[in-house]
Every structure is written in structure tokens, then in C-alpha cells.
Chain A
Amino acid sequence: MDETALIQTAQHGDLDSFNTLILHYQDMVFHTALRILGDEDLAADASQEAFISAFRSINSFRGGSFKAWLMRTVTNACYDEFRRQKRRPTTPLEPESADGEEMDSPRWLADPNMTPAEKFEADELEHAIQHCLDALPTDFRTVVVLADIQGMDYSEVAISVRVPLGTIKSRLARARLRLRECLRGFEELLPSSFRLEEESNL
């Protein structure tokens, strides 16, 4: 895929070229939105909005990292979604059962390729990590999702969230510190290679 050529033709209004870019980036965009928002439906809405917004403003892209530019539209869409959530009643992250209790391993977190035991563990771990991510302030969460989950470098993250590099370093360090504290509460769920206390005692 010649990304530069596709971007250029999309800038001339070619929707098919832009749709090719969407197919390439949609998983990453959705995963980012999911980790920031913590809800699959909201993440899907935010992803769609982000792509629409990206197509409409594609002429503002002046080169550089398209991924970072796209992530900026995603984070903006997520912030818009947060603002909408504040204006209307929110739905819980975990689906509720018939008797009103939260389901521990919701169906929507399941991966069909795993054994039941693996699925259970993965669901629990993912649930725990998402819980800790949700506990972070939005700005910290966005930075940690982009840097640690998406593996973007600091300069790309700085472009995506439009803050200086020093702020990225600071936010990332604070976010990791808080995550470390939060994940201590889920020690039994973590794989042995990631047991924090064991690592700390090294």
C-alpha cells in the first residue's frame, strides 16, 4: 500500500483511496478508542466519527506521520464522546445480568479462539487492566494508551495530543506510576512474569 499516494488522491476527494486507508488503520483506531473510552459501542461510534472527521479535514494533513495525525482525530472523537456522556446518562462498562448484578466475564470481552480457562483468565486480566486505565485521568489515559498500548514514540504521541514532549514524558511517568499502584490490587490475575512484587524484589 502506497500510503502517500493514497493520501494525495484522498486529498483530491477520492473516497475509495481514503477507504483503503481506513481498512488499514481501522483496527488500531478502534482499539485505541476502546482503551480510552472503555466501551465497545462508544468506541465504534468514536471510530466512525473519527474517520468521517479525518476525511473532511484530510487537506489539513501536511505530511509527517499519518498515523499520528489520524490518532489526533481519534482522541478528539473520544473527548467529544466524553463530553456527550456528561450531557446524557451513562451506561455501565459491565453488562448487567437479569438481577441487576454486573457480569464478571462479559460476553463482549470473549475471544472465540481460546479455551474456556484461558478465556476466563484473559477476560479477567483485560478487565482488570481496563479498570485501572479507566481510573486514570483522561489526559494520562490517552498518553499511556498511545505510547504503551499502540507503541507510538513520544514525538508521535505529542503530535496526537498536541502537547509538548516534556508534558508527554511527565504524563506517561505519572500514568505508569498510578497503573503500577492499581495493578497491585490484581496481583493474582497477572502472569507470573509480570508479578510486580517479584519484579520489585529483583
Chain B
Amino acid sequence: MNNFRDIEQLSSYLDGQLSPSESARVESRLSSDPKLASAYNDIRAARGILRKLPARKAPRNFTLTRQMVGLKPPLPRTYSVFRFSSALAAFLLMLTFAANTVMPRVSFGASAPAPLAQGNYGSGGGCDGGCSGDVPESVVTEVVVAEAPSIEFAAAPTNALPSTSADSARNAGTPTVAAVMPKDSGNESALQDQPAVKSEAVVPVVWQIGLLMIALVSALFAFVMSRSAKKKWS
């Protein structure tokens, strides 16, 4: 029985892959070893059978189409310009919508007295004693008093029920709910009297329409160019 090393050498010898010295050594062994010669003939016969196999023709042509390999038609340079301008216009349009939604420009009516508005929308109770200048004193006091009930409401249930003189004396320093209410309602009426807040769009609608038109027209041009290029390609 020949070992695998011998078989490998015989296989290489059969294909002419051995050096001249190795080939000479194999040939001398083949002439003296009938088993090796038998194995060699078997390998040669097996190779001969394989080589005799009829070559099979392709059942169809395997030529490729542009679609099969995903080739895209060559597009004119202006195509990318239109595509870019369309994308940019669409992006800017979205920005204008966002700007108009998030950052509305707030303005007040011209008839609103500035000091009053400042007093009511300002720091609330932060003006006790510190506010000065043109703000009338009565207004400042009203604002301070108006803020006080928010603290008083928490203690109101216990303080409001009994109405002894001692309690009245103890509570004299702070106004009761009943005492505050009229002032509070007066404050609401003051708020109602203020001028209406009017908001305006940051970006005018005309600009938005313009951007929309640019986006649509550019996209349309890019689409037409792409279609015509594909038509020519096919």
C-alpha cells in the first residue's frame, strides 16, 4: 500500500509539477515498484475520465443589463444644482415654520400705559418699597396687597372660622380672605383692562410661498431631467 506522500508525488508528477530531479526519482521508483505504478495508472485514468467529460454549454447568455448591476444613467450637472436648491428651499421653509411657531414676535397695543404694564407683568412682590420713580404709590400698594392672599390661603381654614376679638387682633396685621377678595377681583378687572397682546409672524408668508415655489419647481426640474436621462439610457 502506497502512503499518501507517494500519491501526492505521483499526482504532481502526472501534472508535471515536480522538479527534474524529483521527476527522475519518481520515474526510477515507478519502474521498480509495480504497486506504485498501479497507483499512478489509476490516478492517470481518473484524471483522463474527468478530462473526457463533455463541456457543457451555458443554457443562456449571462450578459448583464444596467439594471442588473445597478448602473445609473449619467445626469447633467444642472441636475445636482436643482436637487440641491430644492433640498435647501425645503429646509429653509421648514425653518420658517419653526421660527413662526416657536418665536412669535410679541407686541402690545400703542395705548397701553408703560408703567402699569411694567408693574403688573414685572417682578410681582419684588417691588416692596423698592419701586420708585413714576409708578404711582397706590398702584404699588395694590400689587403688594394682591400678592399677599396666596400665602394667606394656606392658613385660611383655621383663621377664618372663629371671629373672637383676640383673633381679630392677632390677624389684624394681615388681611383676611374676605378683606382681600375685593382687591383681588379688582386686580382681575385691571388685567382685563389691559390692551390685547398681538403676535406677528417672524417670517412673512410671502417668503414662505416663495421658498415653497422654489422647492417645488427645482424638484420638478430634477425629476424631469432624471426621467429623460433614464429614457435616453435605455
Contact status B56-A44, CB under 8 Å: no
Q: Is B187 an interface residue (CB 8 A)?
A: no
Please measure, in the bound complex, the distance between the C-alpha atom of A48 and the C-alpha atom of B64, giving whole angstroms: 8
* B interface footprint on A153-195 (CB within 8 Å = 1, 0 otherwise): 1100000000000000110111011011001000000110111
Q: Is B4 an interface residue (CB 8 A)?
A: yes
Please measure, in the bound complex, the distance between the C-alpha atom of A111 and the C-alpha atom of B56, giving whole angstroms: 9
Q: Is B231 an interface residue (CB 8 A)?
A: no
Number of interface residues of A (CB under 8 A): 53
Which A residues are CB-close (under 8 A) to B43?
173, 176-177, 180
Return B165 CB to nearest CB of chain A, in Å: 96
Which B residues are CB-close (under 8 A) to A47?
58, 62
Please measure, in the bound complex, the distance between the C-alpha atom of A121 and the C-alpha atom of B37, giving whole angstroms: 29
Q: Is B234 an interface residue (CB 8 A)?
A: no
Out of A23, A149, A170, name the residue touching B8 (CB < 8 Å): A170
Q: Is B63 an interface residue (CB 8 A)?
A: yes
Return B129 CB to nearest CB of chain A, in Å: 82
Q: Is B126 an interface residue (CB 8 A)?
A: no
Q: Is A202 an interface residue (CB 8 A)?
A: yes
Nearest residue in A to B68 (C-beta to C-beta)? A52
Please measure, in the bound complex, the distance between the C-alpha atom of A30 and the C-alpha atom of B57, giving whole angstroms: 7
Q: Could you list which residues of chain A lie within 8 angstroms of chain B, going by C-beta atoms?
A: 13, 15, 18-19, 22-23, 26-31, 34-35, 40, 44, 47-48, 51-52, 55-56, 111, 122, 126, 129, 144, 147-149, 151, 153-154, 169-170, 172-174, 176-177, 179-180, 183, 190-191, 193-196, 199-202
Q: Can you report 20 residue pairs joining A to B where beta carbons are below 8 Å apart?
A: A15-B64, A19-B64, A26-B61, A26-B62, A47-B62, A52-B64, A52-B69, A111-B54, A126-B54, A147-B15, A169-B17, A172-B15, A173-B8, A173-B11, A176-B43, A176-B46, A191-B52, A193-B48, A196-B41, A196-B46
| 7 A-B pairs closest in CB distance | A173-B11, A199-B41, A30-B58, A148-B50, A173-B8, A200-B38, A19-B63
